[in-house]
Amino acid sequence: MKLFEYNAHALFGEYGLPALKGFVASSAVEVERAAASGTLRYPLVIKAQVQTGGRGKAGGVKFADNAEQLAAEAGKILGMTINGLVVKKVFVTEKASVAREMYLSIALDRKERCPVIVFCADGGMEINDIADAHPEKIVKIHLRGETEIKPFMVQYLLDKSGLGSEFKEPMARIAAALLKLFFERNAMLVEINPLALLASGEVVCLDGKIDVDDNALYKFEDVRALRDEMETDPLILEARKWDFLYIPVREDGDIAVVSNGSGMLMSSIDLISKNGHVVHSVLDLGGGATAARIQEAVRIVLSAPSVKLLFVNIFGGITRCDEIAKGIEGSWEQVKSKKLVLRLEGTNKEDGAAIVRGLNPDIYLADDLVDGVDRIVKEMAR
C-alpha cells in the first residue's frame, strides 16, 4: 500500500529522520487555522496529496508569502484533478533554501531477493531522466543479509558519487534510520526525494514515499485506517470487515462472482467475458468458507442493483459444500429474485447439493467452470 507524503513525513519524524515542519489539511479553513498557530514561518509550500507524479507541473505545488495567499492557493489546489486523481488534502511545509538536491531510497529488489540502497547525488523531479541518461550516477548497494548500515557502505556511496567527507555523518545517520523504518514497517519502498542540502548546511528530507507490503497491513492499525479512509466504495469497505476481497470490475456488468482464490476469480472473469457477458464484481472469500461467511458474501455482492446473476464457484478439497449451501439457504430471500448458477466441489458435495435442490429443484449445479459458464450464457439469454 502506497502512503501519502504527509504519512511519510510523520514516519520520518517517528524514526528521527530530519524533515521540515509541516501539517496536513483537507480544507482552506483548516489550512488557515493551522497556519494561524504560528508553528510555521513564511514562505510556505502547499503540496497536493495525490499518489501520482508530475503534480508540480500540473499546478499541484504552490507557494505562499502570507496568510491571504496561503488560503487562496490552498483553495485552488483542493478539489483539482491531477492525472485523474482528485486532490482531497494538501500538505503545507516551510519553504527551504536548497543548495543541492539528492536522492536516497531503500527498496525490495525482487530479482535479487534482498533490499537495495539506491543513491544519486542529483535528485529532484528529474531523477528518472538522470537514471536513463546517466545510469552511472545511480549507486546501489544490495543488502544480502545485512540489517544495519555499515561505515564502508556510506563511504562507498560518497566515493562513487564524488561527495565530500562533510556528508558522511548525516548520510550515515539518515541511511541507518531509513533502513530501520524499512524493516520495522515491512516496507517495499522507502524513498527520500529530494534529500536536500540546505543553504544552512543541514541535510533534510524534503519529500518522501513509502510503500508498505499489503501482506503486513494486519500489523499496522494506523495504515489500515488510512487505507479505509482512502477507499470510497462502501462495498469494498463492507467486505474488508469480513476479510473478503471485493473487486468492482465494470459498472455496466450484470454478473457477480463469488469464489475462493484469485485464480478461480480470474478464470471466471476471462471465460465469462469470452462468452460475451460482462462481470460487474467479484468477491474472494479467502479462507474458511462457512455458512455465515457465504451469507455475508452473497449479501454484499447482491447489494449492487445491476447484478442479475450470481455465480458461486467453489472448489476445494476440504471445503464443506453443505456449509456453502447453508449460506445460500440463509440468503435465499435475496437470492431467489436473481438468476443463480452454482459450482460446488469439496467435502460433503452431495449434502450441499441436496440442500440447494431443496430450495429450488431447478437450480443448476455445474460440473466445472466451463459447464458453469455455459449455463450462465443460457440463463442470461432467457
Model pLDDT for residues 176-212, shown as the tens digit of each residue: 999 999 999 999 999 999 999 999 999 999 999 999 9
Distance CA 116, CA 187 (A): 12
pLDDT at 147: 92
Q: Pick 233-381's CATH classification: 3.40.470.10, 3.20.20.370, 3.40.50.261, 3.20.20.70.
A: 3.40.50.261
Q: What is the pLDDT of residue 319?
A: 82
User: What is the model's pLDDT at position 130?
Assistant: 83
Coil, strand or helix: which one is 187?
strand
Cβ(279)–Cβ(269) below 8 Å: yes
Position 93 pLDDT exceeds 70: yes
User: What average pLDDT does this structure show over 97-109?
Assistant: 95
Contact indicator for 184, 219 with CB cutoff of 8 Å: no
* Bridge partners of residue 2, in order along the sequence: 211
Decide if 103 contacts 195 (C-beta within 8 A): yes
More confident residue, 174 or 218: 174
Q: Which of 5, 101, 191, 296 is catalytic?
A: 191
191 is catalytic: yes
Q: Kindly report, residue by residue over 213-228, the tens digit of the pLDDT.
A: 888 877 887 877 776 6
Q: What percent of the chain has pLDDT over 90?
A: 74
Spatial contact of 85 and 4, defined as CB atoms under 8 Å apart = no
Grid cell in block for residue 15: 524514526
Q: What is the mean pLDDT of residues 335-355?
A: 93
What was the pLDDT predicted at 331?
A: 94
* Residues linked to residue 123 through DSSP beta bridges, in sequence order: none
Residue 340 is predicted with a pLDDT of: 95
CATH, domain 21-95, list 3.30.1490.20, 3.40.47.10, 3.40.50.720, 3.30.470.20 = 3.30.1490.20
CA angle 193, 196, 197 (to 5 degrees): 160
5 is catalytic: no
Q: Is the pLDDT of residue 100 over 70?
A: yes
Sequence ranges of the chain with CATH classification 3.40.50.261: 233-381
**Higher-pLDDT residue of 176, 83:** 176
Reference 169, options 18, 319, 303; nearest CA is: 18
- Residue 169 burial by Cβ neighbours in a 10 Å radius (0-12, 13-18, 19+): exposed
The catalytically annotated residue of 6, 103, 246, 364 is 103
Bridge partners (DSSP) listed for residue 314? 344
Q: In the prediction, which pLDDT does 336 show?
A: 92
* % of the chain beyond a pLDDT of 70: 98
d(C-alpha 312, C-alpha 344), whole Å = 8
pLDDT band at 38 (very low <50, low <70, confident <90, very high): confident
Has residue 382 got a pLDDT over 90?
no
Average pLDDT along the chain: 92
pLDDT of residue 380: 95
Q: Which residues contact 173 (CB under 8 A, 6 or more apart)?
A: 16
Cell representation of residue 109:
529488489
Torsion sign across C-alpha atoms 366, 367, 373, 379:
negative
What is the reported pLDDT for 232? Answer: 66
Q: How confident is the model at residue 230 (pLDDT cuts 50, 70, 90)?
A: low
pLDDT one-digit tens code per residue, 120-171: 998 877 788 888 888 889 999 999 999 999 999 999 999 999 999 999 999 9
* CATH H-level superfamily of 1-20+97-230: ATP-grasp fold, B domain (3.30.470.20)
pLDDT tens digit string along 234-291? Answer: 898 889 889 899 999 999 999 999 998 889 999 999 999 999 999 999 999 987 788 9
In the chain, which residues fall in CATH 3.30.1490.20?
21-95
- Distance between CA atoms of 229 and 49, rounded to whole angstroms? 14
**Residue 52 pLDDT greater than 90, yes or no:** no
Contact call for residues 55 and 48 (beta carbons, < 8 A): yes
